[in-house]
Structures are given as structure tokens and as C-alpha cells.
Amino acid sequence: MKDICSLTSRQNQTQTTIQEKQRELTRPQHSRQSRFMGWGKLITSTLFLQLLLMAGPSWGQEKEEKYSYSQLLNDINAGKVTLVEIDPRLQTAQVTLKGQEEPREVPLLQQNPELINSLKANNVQIDYNPSPDNSAMVRLMLQLPIVLFILFIVIAIIRRSASMSGQAMNFSKSRARFQMEAKTGISFGDVAGIDEAKEELEEVVTFLKEPEKFTAIGAKIPKGVLLIGPPGTGKTLLAKAVAGEAGVPFFSISGSEFVEMFVGVGASRVRDLFKKAKENAPCLIFIDEIDAVGRQRGVGYGGGNDEREQTLNQLLTEMDGFEGNTGIIVIAATNRPDVLDRALMRPGRFDRQVMVDYPDMKGRQGILEVHSRDKKVDEEVSLEAIARRTPGFTGADLSNLLNEAAIFTARRRKEAITMAEINDAIDRVVAGMEGTPLVDSKSKRLIAYHEIGHALVGTMMAGHDPVEKVTLIPRGQAKGLTWFTPDEDAGLITRNQLLARIAGLLGGRAAEEVIFGEDEVTTGAGNDIEKVTSLARQMVTRFGMSELGLLALEEDNQENYAAFDEIATQIDSQINLIVEKCHEKAQNIIRENRAMVDRLVEILIDKETIEGDEFRQLLEEFKEPVDSGIELCKSV
Ligand code: ADP
Ligand code: ZN
Ligand code: MG
């Protein structure tokens, strides 16, 4: 019963996905070499099978009526035999008896001295008549379906084991795991919303296109640019655009692909990459997720990771090893600049750092324009309105949003994307798939109270974002949701706004407590509490909004670690203080408006969704009869 209480918290969400995305390593590809390994095995195993089969009993040789070797000897000695044709290959003899047309077949022994002797003694005619050797063919034809079947199974097994142990099978020193695109086909026109980063990189295009301009007057061309920003903001896209604009090949590799389980592989990959790049200069090398190799050396568990350090050292060596005018520029991307080894940023390496941040409203509008170019969008759709509704969305989110909207449109058999599809797509991108509503039950009632609690407390607190809608239709993991329209790109947030947000987040649990009692509260508030804690902690440790004063007390500030230890309990008690105050406030709002809460819950259970305007109108209507009245709370 998680719920997502405000769109503005999206920024937080995205930040947690950073690490998830980071972990999402690209699946190892099967190289040609490993395929060959597979086929090699395959061929030997099928040959082996063939041999087994061939050595086995052969099928399909009809036996005529039995005529034995000893019978033959008797018949020869009795003078009944006129002709014996021996087939040494099949080890049979065709025996023609006196007065009979049809010869009869007799199986022979390996060596038949007595037969030859008695044949000679009885003057029987002997012919050697080897049969043509087509039996192997026949056998093969008969066995073919079985061989194919076994082959099929063997392939299936090899495929499976190859994909399971992909890493181990792919291991090979000489193989490089980078991609090369001769033409990226991407231009600066495809990148929007990150104008400053774009401007900085426009210069890099000139470095690649006309290096003489700079070298002529003795300027050294920078070798490395580090793009810093959260996932999905367009770092890869930007690097491709630089290569596209300069018309040079684009070499790319991900930092996580450098690092393998065998020491030395990463370093040799770096060597390969730079060797290939030099052959293709001028060109651009893009190293994604450079933090995977570029972490500070000599720190971490067990005194660091040999393999990673070797790779990093190799990378530094390569970057130092070529002059700026060789026409190679390295662009690296990361979302964790804090963990990078300082050596990477020295002059002559990644000395230029470019921030690629979340786009602002105008930026989002620009990105939406780029991605709606190839889609049919209804005229009534205002990209500006979408941009306004989507703070915290990255370029990737926005492109995904339009794609989801296009899918909805196609499914509804409409001509062009309308605002209805856009709205549904936003809900989907933010909160996940829509589920089926619960049937009326105690738990549905509890969820309704929880959501109305959020909506009401949120509305009553001055400085809180307005309710956009309250719904009992489940989405993703949430069983019910209250959405708030985020403030227009809230840059700076006041203390009161933060407190209002915390109270609003606690409104759900507060309603559960007031209506059902402390013992009946549910796990549904888990997600709310997580956000509350994080907000309150930031107020204390980052924003200087507590009695501890204006100190930056962030946990990851390692140098202050000892001091931090002493102060940790104080931080915790300050966080508690904030949360408790807001909790009380939220409970009071619910208690004072109990009658209204009950009515709103009835309506919500009946209608399943209440839109923001409707919600506010209902509050107005209830104002008269409900005697506690509505007073906007000024602050906590
Ligand atoms: P990153 O490398 O920063 O994680 P990507 O460059 O891979 O992000 O972005 C993924 C996709 O999202 C791009 O291919 C593009 O379609 C879209 N996108 C991201 N940022 C932008 C932007 N600034 N302008 C246009 N499209 C963008
Ligand atoms: Zn909640
Ligand atoms: Mg990327």
C-alpha cells in the first residue's frame, strides 16, 4: 500500500534509480570467438555420435530364410552346390544349388579355410563379387532424423550453458568490447534543453573538425571532457551529437565493460580501444559510466581492486600518451563525480567538466518538441502545459512519456495524440501501470481514509502544493494515490513549505490513527515515512533549519566523520522533533475536520477518483454545515 504523495518528490525517485541503472550492466554479447568455440564442440560431439551410431547395429537389412554355414559345407560335400559367389565386404556368399534358379545367402566367417578347401575338393565354381559400398549412405539416410534431433538438443544445451556462463566463455584477452559507429546520424538539433552543455561541446566539434586553427597558434587541444549528470539527461546523446556534427567515427565503451573478473583484461581493452581509435583519427571516444573504473584508487573494501586500478592506470597512460593534435577527443560520462579519482581531472586528461542537469521548463518544452517531430500530435496539445506538469523529468523520461502517449493513442484507434493520452501517459510514467480497483471492503475504506488524509492535510497547510487528484485506482505498487500539482520548477523551498510537505506526507498515517486507532495502523505509510525522514534529515544536516544551526552535517562528508559520530544523536533528536511536530499538526487537522473527512471518504469510495478542482469545491460546500470550519494553517 505504498503511495506516491507528490510529484515534486520525483527528483528523489530519480536519484535512487541512478544506482539501479548503474548496476544494470550491459549484457555480455557473444563474440564470434565464443560462437566458434561452441561450433567446435558441436562438430566433435556430432562426429562422435555418428561413429557411435555407425558402429551400432545397422537396420533395414532383410534376412531371407535361414541357410547356415554348416549346411552349406554339408551341401558342398554332398555335391549339391553349383556356384558360390563370395562377397568379401559383406562377408556373405550367394549359393546356387543344383536345380535351383535363385541363389541363397549364407553368412560367412572371418576366414573360411574349410569352405575354400571343400569348394576346391568338390570342384564348385567360385566367384568373388564384392557388393557396391552404398550401405553407409543408406544407414546415414536412415539415421539422419535421429542425428538431426540429437544435434538440435546439443545446440540447445550449448546455447544455454553459453548464456549462463556468458562472462567466462567470453573471456579472451584480445577481444575488445567497444562499439564503433562510423556515423552517428545525430546532430545538435536532436538535443534540447541542456543548452549550456551544448554550447561547451560545440567547441569540441571545432577541435575535431579544424584542429589546425588551434595548433597553428600553439594552442593545445584538450583531450578529455567529462559530462556530469543524472541518468537520462542526454549525456550519451550529446556525445553522439558531437561526433555527428564533426563527422567523425564514434567509439564507445561502458566503464562497467572494462572491468571483468580477470585481472589485466580491462587494461588490455583500454589499449585496444586507443589503438583502434588512433587508426581512425580524427575520432571521438566515449566512455560511459567512467566511475566504474575511475573510482578513487586505494580506497574501498580490502584495499581496493587490482583489476580496476590497472584499468584506470592504463587509461591514464593512454590519455597522457597522445598529443592533443592527434585528433582524438575522449568524452566520458558519469553521475558520480564525487567518487572519481582526482588524477582523472588533471590537466591533459578530463580537464573540462560539463554539467548536464535536469532540464528546466523551457528545456522540457524543447525536448518535447524534438520528440514530437516524428509523432502525430493533435493541435490542441500544448507542449508547454506538459512541460509545466513534469518537473524533475529527464529527456529520457519525456521521450518515454511521448512514446507511451503514442501507444495509448494507437490502442484507442485515434488519429493523433490528444491531451487525454498525454495525461494517462504521465500517470503511467510517474506511478506505473493502472490496476483494477479493490472491491468495497475494510481495506478499501482504510486506503480511502489514508488518501483523504493526505489530500486534506496537504490542502490545509499553507505553502503546500495543490491537490491534483485523489484516487483509489491502484497503480504500480500503490493501492491508492494522492497527486499534487508541483510548483512551477520550485527552485528554492522555504522552511514552511518543507514542514507543510512533511505534514502532508504524514496526513495518511494520521488519518489511519485518528479513525481506526493506533493499533490498526498499516504498513501503507512506509513510503511516506521514508520520504518524511529524508526531508527532515536534509533540513537538519544540509539546510541548517534546526536548532543545530548552520552546519553542513552530511553523512558522506568523510573528513568530518569523527565529529559526525558525536553529533549523530543530536541530529536524530532534531529529526524526531520536526517529524513529531508535523505529525501532531496532521492529526489535529484530521480530528478537527472529522465530519468532512468521513464525507469525502464516502464520495471517494463511490467515485474512486476525485479531481483537484472537485476536491476543493467539495471542501467549500462542506464549509457551512461542518462547524469546525476550515482555517488554513499558517505554519507548524
Ligand atoms: P544519459 O546518457 O545521460 O543517461 P541518454 O543520452 O542515453 O542519457 O538519453 C536517452 C534518450 O533520452 C536519448 O536517446 C534521447 O532520446 C532522450 N533524451 C535525453 N536527453 C535528451 C535531450 N536533452 N534532448 C533530447 N532528447 C533527450
Ligand atoms: Zn500515503
Ligand atoms: Mg548514457
Does ligand 1 have an atom closer than 6 angstroms to the CB of 211? Answer: no
Distance CA 98, CA 298 (A): 100
pLDDT-derived band at 433, boundaries 50, 70, 90: confident
Percent of the chain clearing pLDDT 90 (strictly above): 33
For the sheet with 179-181, list strands across it: 179-181, 250-254, 283-288, 328-334, 224-228, 352-355
Does ligand 1 have an atom closer than 6 angstroms to the CB of 230? Answer: no
The answer on pLDDT for 176 being more than 80 is no
Atom 11 of ligand 1: nearest residue by CA position: 396
Can you tell me the mean pLDDT for 104-131?
79
- Any idea which ligand is nearest the CA of 228? 1
Kindly state the DSSP code that residue 30 receives in the 8-state scheme.
Answer: P
Q: Are 5 and 459 in contact (CB under 8 A)?
A: no
Polymer length in residues for the chain:
636
In the prediction, which pLDDT does 323 show?
A: 66
Buried b vs exposed e over 326-347: b needs ≥16 C-beta within 10 Å? bbbbbbbbbbbbeebbeebbee
Q: 261-311: per-residue pLDDT in tens? A: 566 778 888 888 888 888 888 899 999 999 888 777 665 444 456 777 888
* Vertex 204: Cα angle to 199 and 208 (nearest 5): 145
pLDDT-derived band at 183, boundaries 50, 70, 90: confident
| 404 CA → ligand 1 middle, Å | 16
Note residues around ion ligand 2 (Cβ under 5 angstroms).
Answer: 3, 508, 528
Atom 26 of ligand 1: nearest residue by CA position: 395
pLDDT-derived band at 344, boundaries 50, 70, 90: confident
pLDDT-derived band at 248, boundaries 50, 70, 90: very high
Note residues around ion ligand 3 (Cβ under 5 angstroms).
Answer: 236
Q: At what angle do helices 395-411 and 361-372 cross, to 10 degrees?
A: 50
Q: Are 498 and 545 in contact (CB under 8 A)?
A: yes
In the prediction, which pLDDT does 560 show?
A: 53
- Any idea which ligand is nearest the CA of 256? 3
Does ligand 1 have an atom closer than 6 angstroms to the CB of 366? Answer: no
Does ligand 1 have an atom closer than 6 angstroms to the CB of 239? Answer: no
What count of other Cβ atoms lies within 10 Å of the Cβ of residue 16? Answer: 9
The answer on pLDDT for 193 being more than 50 is yes
Query: Could you tell me where the DSSP H helices lie in 413-560?
Result: 419-431, 442-460, 495-516, 526-541
The answer on pLDDT for 48 being more than 90 is no
Residue 211, all three cell numbers:
584542429
Distance CA 618, CA 491 (A): 31
Does ligand 1 have an atom closer than 6 angstroms to the CB of 370? Answer: yes
What are the residue numbers of the active site?
Answer: 451
Can you tell me the mean pLDDT for 70-83?
84
The answer on pLDDT for 256 being more than 60 is yes
Number of the ligand 1 atom closest to the C-alpha atom of 192: 24
The answer on pLDDT for 546 being more than 70 is yes
Does ligand 1 have an atom closer than 6 angstroms to the CB of 367? Answer: yes
Does ligand 1 have an atom closer than 6 angstroms to the CB of 372? Answer: no
| 191 CA → ligand 1 middle, Å | 8
Distance CA 630, CA 616 (A): 12
| 130 CA → ligand 3 middle, Å | 73
In the prediction, which pLDDT does 16 show?
A: 34
Dihedral class, residue 331 (left if φ above 0, else alpha if ψ from -120 to 50, else beta)? beta
Does ligand 1 have an atom closer than 6 angstroms to the CB of 524? Answer: no
| 232 CA → ligand 3 middle, Å | 7
The answer on pLDDT for 53 being more than 90 is no
Query: Could you tell me where the DSSP H helices lie in 24-68?
Result: 32-55
The answer on pLDDT for 465 being more than 70 is yes
Judged on CB neighbours under 10 Å (0-12, 13-18, 19+), 60 is exposed
Judged on CB neighbours under 10 Å (0-12, 13-18, 19+), 174 is exposed
CA nearest neighbour of 17 among 230, 257, 255, 290: 230
Q: 376-404: per-residue pLDDT in tens? A: 999 999 999 899 888 788 999 999 999 99
| 407 CA → ligand 2 middle, Å | 30
Residue 596, all three cell numbers:
468532512
In the prediction, which pLDDT does 64 show?
A: 47
Atom 25 of ligand 1: nearest residue by CA position: 191
Q: 553-597: per-residue pLDDT in tens? A: 665 555 555 566 778 888 889 999 999 999 999 999 999 999 999
Distance CA 352, CA 225 (A): 5
Q: 524-537: per-residue pLDDT in tens? A: 888 899 999 999 99
Q: Which of 48-57, 158-167, 351-360, 541-550 has the lowest mean pLDDT?
A: 48-57
Does ligand 1 have an atom closer than 6 angstroms to the CB of 365? Answer: no
527 alpha carbon, distance to own chain's centre: 24
- Domains of the chain, earliest start first: 2-28+36-135 (3.30.720.210), 177-355 (3.40.50.300), 361-431 (1.10.8.60), 442-635 (1.20.58.760)
Atom 5 of ligand 1: nearest residue by CA position: 234
Distance CA 388, CA 365 (A): 8
Does ligand 1 have an atom closer than 6 angstroms to the CB of 232? Answer: yes
Does ligand 1 have an atom closer than 6 angstroms to the CB of 332? Answer: no
| 485 CA → ligand 2 middle, Å | 16
Specify the DSSP element, H or E, that contains 333: strand 328-334
Structure-derived torsion over alpha carbons of residues 599, 605, 606, 612, reported in degrees to the nearest 10: 70
| 508 CA → ligand 2 middle, Å | 5
Number of the ligand 1 atom closest to the C-alpha atom of 190: 25
Atom 27 of ligand 1: nearest residue by CA position: 395
Dihedral class, residue 192 (left if φ above 0, else alpha if ψ from -120 to 50, else beta)? beta
| 504 CA → ligand 2 middle, Å | 9
Atom 12 of ligand 1: nearest residue by CA position: 396
pLDDT-derived band at 260, boundaries 50, 70, 90: low
Which of 19, 199, 237, 355 for mutating ligand 1's site (highest number of atoms within 8 Å of CB)?
237
The answer on pLDDT for 468 being more than 70 is yes
Q: 311-325: per-residue pLDDT in tens? A: 888 888 888 877 656
Q: Which of 50-59, 187-196, 260-269, 345-354 has the lowest mean pLDDT?
A: 50-59
Q: Are 102 and 65 in contact (CB under 8 A)?
A: no
pTM above 0.85, yes or no: no
In the prediction, which pLDDT does 554 show?
A: 67
What residues does 482 pair with on adjacent strands? 470
